[in-house]
Amino acid sequence: MSHKPLRNTLLKCLGLGLSAAFAPSLDAATLHEAEAEAGKPAPTGIELIAFEAPGCVYCPMLRRDVAPSYAASRAGKTAPLRFVDVNDPAAESFRLAAPVRMVPTVVLVRDGVEIGRIAGFVGREGMHRLLEGLLPPE
């Protein structure tokens, strides 16, 4: 019995929370403000995809500490949040600038194409602050 898939998942998870990386940075001038209702797709096709994996210690923390306040935030109204298992074939439907190497990683996409990302868990306040930097100005 091989433990390689579990080991790979745990290795991705271990790097979380220790650092946050941005790749690529978002060109806010190219985005338009979306007036989306929470939980519904944004009219502009902007979404925030949270990539997670089974066994990740930080993924439930993202759901618990960030997701509840996210929907009511400006970011949540602009880019609805959706969780995707990094191992799910649906994860391959996005055109990412680089592979997801750690979980959780949140990726801002427009029509499925990456326009910005935050890798790792940076806490509720950190996540909201960093997301504001990815979005176009009000």
> Which band of pLDDT confidence, cut at 50, 70 and 90, is reported for residue 43?
low
What is the Cα–Cα distance from 43 to 112, expressed in whole angstroms? 13
Please report, for residues 6, 55, 77, 114, the alpha-carbon distance to residue 3 in angstroms, rounded to integers and kept in the order given: 5, 13, 41, 31
pTM of the model: 0.69
User: What pLDDT does 134 receive?
Assistant: 85
Between 47 and 36, the higher pLDDT residue: 47
User: What pLDDT does 105 receive?
Assistant: 97
Our count of domains for the chain comes to: 1
Q: What is the CATH number of the domain that holds 9?
A: 3.40.30.10
Domain holding 24, by residue range, is 4-134
Between 56 and 134, the higher pLDDT residue: 56
> Which band of pLDDT confidence, cut at 50, 70 and 90, is reported for residue 12?
very low
